[in-house]
Amino acid sequence: YGSIKYVTEKGLMNGTGGTNFTPKANLTRAMVITVLYRMEGSPRVVFNEKDYLDVADGQFYSDATAWAYGEGIITGTSTDDWGIPMISPSRDITRQELATMFVRYANFKHVKMENTADLDRFEDRDRVASWAADAMKWATSVLPLLSMKHTAAKAVLLPTK
């Protein structure tokens, strides 16, 4: 209960509708983007629905998306032939996406990311996307949630989960 009280009192999360809070639900990309945006005080942005393939105006994450994309915290999951990004806001965020967003947010805040870990101890290290490798090296050194799964022989990253 204390964690829920903290994020609601700080305005970082409002719940999942009405008076509901769903702590065991998976985080979506939109939820993470919105929390980071709110951590910055919800800066004023100009949202243009035409800038994204899958983000409509008036969604809880619309302004957060414009901010995060403009600051380079997100880049989108793909683009169309004209370079317009697909953000995939409703999709569950993967560990490697989360790590990458955290690193980009830290860079935005001018926080030096010095810790790194070798991914060799993880049996599924080859499943980490090249764009996420440095972020995962950092994240596994400081965030236990990214290396919680263990088999008898080695830890696994589950980067796409």
Q: pLDDT tens, 99-120?
A: 999 999 999 999 887 778 888 8
- Buried b / exposed e over 10-49, threshold 16 CB at 10 Å, is eeebeeeeeeebeeeeeebbbbbbbbbbbeeeeeebebee
Query: Mind listing the pLDDT tens digit for each residue in 23-82?
Result: 777 889 999 999 999 999 999 999 999 999 999 999 999 999 999 999 999 998 999 899
Q: Which residues contact 53 (CB under 8 A, 6 or more apart)?
A: 80, 84, 85, 86, 87
146, pLDDT greater than 70: no
Could you report the per-residue pLDDT of 120-129, keeping only the tens digit for each?
888 888 999 9
Structure pTM? Answer: 0.83
Backbone torsions φ then ψ of 138, nearest 5 degrees: -70, -50
Extract the tokens encoding 70.
């403009």
